[in-house]
Amino acid sequence: MSDLSAFAITRKWPARDPQRLQLYSLTTPNGVKIPIMLEEIGLPYEAHRVNFETNDQQSAEFLSLNPNNKIPAIIDPDGPGGKPLPLFESGAILIYLAEKTGQLLSQDPAERYQTIQWLMFQIGGIGPMFGQLGFFHKFAGKDYEDKRPRDRYVAECRRLLDVLDGQLEDRDWIMGAQYSIADIATFPWVRNLIGFYEAGELVEFERFANVKRVLENFLARPAVIRGLEIPKAP
C-alpha cells in the first residue's frame, strides 16, 4: 500500500487512491499532454485541477512538488525501485511514462533519439514561440502600438510550422507510421495557436497542409478527445 503522506501537495489535493499515479494539471497546451499520454497508454491515474484563477500554482503545497510553479507535475507511487517518484516538466514526464510502459517511444536506439529530438523541438521552439505570439496577439501585447515584437513571433511561428510541415510530408505522424510522444507534445500547441490564440490567419495556417491534416487526425483520436478535457472543470 503506497503512502503519499510525505508529499505536502497531497494535503491540498488528497489522493483518493494512493495506488494510482497522481496528476496535477490544467487544460493548457502543456497541461493536456500528460492526460492524453495517460489515456493513450491506459495507466490508472487521478487528475487534480491546479486552478490558475486562484493561483494554486503558487501555493506552498504545489511548490513543494514543482518549485518552478508550472503544470503539469506528477507523483508516481510505483516509481523506480517501487518508491514514489515526484516529477515535473512535461517532456521529462512523457519520456518517463513512455519508458515505464514501453509505449509511444521506440526501443530502437536511433529512432528513440530522433523521437526525443522532435520532442525537444516542441519544448524549445514551438511551445515558447507559439506562447509569445499568443501574448502579443491575443493578450497584453495588444496594448503595444509597436507591432515589431508580434511580427517577430509571427515570422518565427511560420518558420517552425514550415519545418514541421516538411517533416510530415508523406508521413502519418512526426516519426512516420508510428504515433509517439513527439505528436502528443506538439499538436496541443498547434491546436492552441489556431484555436484559443486565434492566430491561424496571422500565421497563414492554411499554407501548412500537412500540419493541418495530421492535426485533424490527432484530434480524432479517442484518447486525445478525453485527455483534452482533463482535469475537468468543476
Give the pLDDT confidence of 121-138 residue by residue, as tens digits: 999 999 999 999 999 999
The correct CATH number of 9-103 out of 3.40.30.10, 3.50.50.60, 3.40.605.10, 3.40.50.720 is: 3.40.30.10
The set of cell numbers assigned to 101 is: 510502459
* Average pLDDT, integer, range 156-164: 98
pLDDT at 1: 56
Give residue 79's Cα distance to chain centre: 21
Q: What is the pLDDT of residue 216?
A: 98
Q: Which of 220, 194, 196, 221 is nearest to 207 (CA)?
A: 194
- Give the tens place of pLDDT for each residue, 57-78: 999 999 999 999 999 999 999 9
- DSSP string covering 86-132: EEESHHHHHHHHHHHHT-SS-SSHHHHHHHHHHHHHIIIIIHHHHHH
**Domain boundary assignment for the chain:** 9-103, 109-221
Q: How far apart are CA 59 and CA 145, in angstroms?
A: 36
- Residue 2's pLDDT band, with cuts at 50, 70 and 90, is confident
| Strand order across the beta sheet in which 85-88 lies | 45-49, 21-25, 73-76, 85-88
**Is 208 within 8 Å of 232 (Cβ atoms)?**
no
Amino acid letter at 169?
Answer: E
Mean pLDDT for 24-40 is: 98
Residues 137 and 147: their CA atoms lie apart, in Å, by 9
- A 10 A CB-CB count for 60 gives 10
Q: Give the residue among 17, 47, 15 at the shortest CA–CA distance from 34.
A: 47
**Residue 40 CA neighbour count, 13 Å, CB half:** 26
Query: Mean of the pLDDT values across residues 194-207?
Result: 97
**What's the count of helices (H) and strands (E) in the chain, helices before strands?**
10, 4
Check pLDDT > 90 for residue 212: yes
If residue 12 lies in a helix (H) or strand (E), which one and from where to where?
helix 9-12
pLDDT digits (tens, 9 = 90+) for 96-123: 999 999 999 999 999 999 999 999 999 9
pLDDT bracket for residue 149 (50, 70, 90): confident
Query: What phi and psi, each to the nearest 5 degrees, are found at residue 5?
Result: -65, -20
Instruction: Output the 3-class SS for 146-207.
Output: CCHHHHHHHHHHHHHHHHHHHHCCCCCECCECCCCHHHHHHHHHHHHHHCCCCCCCCCCHHH
Provide, rounded to the nearest whole percent, the portion of the chain with pLDDT above 70.
100
pLDDT at position 145 is 82
CATH fold, domain 109-221, is Glutathione S-transferase Yfyf (Class Pi); Chain A, domain 2 (1.20.1050)
The reported pLDDT for the residue numbered 33 is 98
Output helix, strand, coil percentages for the chain, rounded to the nearest 5. Answer: 55, 10, 35
Written as nine digits, the cell of 96 is: 518517463
Q: Measure CA 212 to chain center.
A: 18
